Amino acid sequence: MSARIIDGKAIADRVRAQVRADADAFIARTGVTPGLIVLIVGENPASQVYVRNKRKACLDLGWYSEIRAFPAEVSQSEVEAQIEALNADPRVHGILLQLPLPRHMDEQALLERIRPEKDVDGFHPVNVGKLSLGLPAPIPCTPLGIQRLLTEEGIETRGRLAVVIGRSNIVGKPVAQLLLRKGAGGDATVCVAHSRTADLPGLVRQADIVVAAMGQPEFVKGAWIKPGATVIDVGINRISDPSAPKGSRLVGDVEFAAAREVAGAITPVPGGVGPMTIAMLMHNTLECARRLSGDSA
């Protein structure tokens, strides 16, 4: 029997609807309109698309949002100055630095310039620390979206073995922290695997939940999946395919067709984790606006 397909777009639509309702109530209560500024450096085509989609999501909610674009050759100090100005701007509740950056820029130093209370991506060391301690703080959007997918689908995490493949600061490490937390969508036994893990197929075969986030197309084979397991595919990779309309197609980090025949539930690519990232960015922006305005309702 084929696995149940987890419809990330449908769940993201529900999240956005709830964010809209919560934001409308917040605006009516406080007179404050959430504001998000996205900073982008250079002309990376994928980043350009992501940035436009993020701003559009804000504007669709009636929020304040701008894109601040810089040429690839911009200096570190110019971007730092822009971040400092946004830190001080009361209209701005969220600041997002689109990654990747040109090689001459110090990514970590720029992320650390963002005021932690306005760090909607949850990448500032203060917020990373708070996540590990279970304290309130912005949580990276993709991991938060993954947890929401699991809870919305009624997938039990408590006491289950979750194997996270990938140890990035953006997905792997924070999603492991969320799955470890007490409460809904947490209480899992978590193993973080990576390129140096011995017998990765054998480890994955034990997992009740697999989160694949290593950025390698169709790396996780269907034969590795435990029957009935839940598979969350974070990857989005474009591969050559002469039979596809544009000569290429998008695939995830999991061998989808084979895994679907074994798993109990699986996210597709596209249409799985991807839509949740922007939905949770809207959630984070609203939460930052609430905290910065002192709203406790």
**Distances in Å between the alpha carbon of 297 and those of 24, 58, 135?**
13, 22, 19
pLDDT of 1 reads 62
> Of 36, 33, 95, 32, which Cα lies nearest the Cα of 66?
36
Residues 106 and 193 both lie in one domain: no
Residues 270 and 152 in one domain: yes
* Domain end point (choices 116, 150, 167): 116
Please indicate, yes or no, if residue 264 is contained in any of the structural domains: yes
Q: Is residue 6 part of a domain?
A: no
Q: Which residues pair with 212 in a beta bridge?
A: 165, 233
206 and 112 in a common domain: no
Residue 19 within a domain? no
Q: What is the helix, strand, coil percentage profile of the chain, to 5?
A: 40, 15, 40
Residues 108 and 189 both lie in one domain: no
Q: What gap in Å lies between CA 66 and CA 80, rounded to an integer?
A: 17
Predicted pLDDT at 239:
86
Strand 94-97's sheet: what is its strand order?
64-70, 35-41, 94-97
148/101 same-domain check: no
pLDDT in tens, the chain (297 residues): 699 999 999 999 999 999 999 999 999 999 999 999 999 999 888 888 889 999 999 999 999 999 999 999 999 999 999 999 999 999 999 999 999 999 999 999 999 999 999 999 999 999 999 999 999 999 999 999 999 999 999 999 999 999 999 999 999 999 999 999 999 999 999 999 998 999 999 999 999 999 999 999 999 999 999 999 999 999 998 888 888 888 888 899 999 999 999 999 999 999 999 999 999 999 999 999 999 999 876
Structure tokens, 142: 């993709």
Instruction: Give the contacts of 76 (CB within 8 A, at least 6 positions apart).
Output: 104, 105, 106, 109, 110
185 and 222 in a common domain: yes
Q: What is the CATH number of the domain that holds 87?
A: 3.40.50.10860
Q: How many domains does the chain have?
A: 2
Q: Are 138 and 127 in contact (CB under 8 A)?
A: yes
For the chain, the maximum distance between any two Cα atoms, rounded to a whole number of angstroms, is: 57
Residues 93 and 183 placed together within one structural domain of the fold: no
Catalytic site positions: 54, 98, 121
Q: Which amino acid is at 26?
A: F
Element housing 282 (H / E): helix 274-293
Domain holding 183: CATH number? 3.40.50.720
Answer whether residue 48 is part of any domain: yes
pTM of structure:
0.95
How many whole angstroms separate alpha carbon 211 and alpha carbon 233? 6
Q: Is 232 exposed, middle or buried (CB count within 10 Å of its CB: 0-12, 13-18, 19+)?
A: buried
State the pLDDT at residue 242. Answer: 86
- Separation of alpha carbons 221 and 259, rounded Å: 7
Judgement on whether residues 110 and 146 belong to the same structural domain of the protein: no
The residue range of the domain holding 66 is: 29-116
Give the closest residue to 41 by CA, choosing from 80, 83, 67, 69: 69
Whether residue 267 is found in the same domain as residue 147: yes
- 251 shares a domain with 213: yes
Residue 291 burial (10 A CB sphere; 0-12, 13-18, 19+): middle
Same domain? For 269 and 150 the reply is yes
Helix (H, G, I), strand (E, B) or coil at 253: coil
In this structure, the answer to whether residues 65 and 156 fall within a common structural domain is no
Question: Would 50 be classed as within a structural domain?
Answer: yes
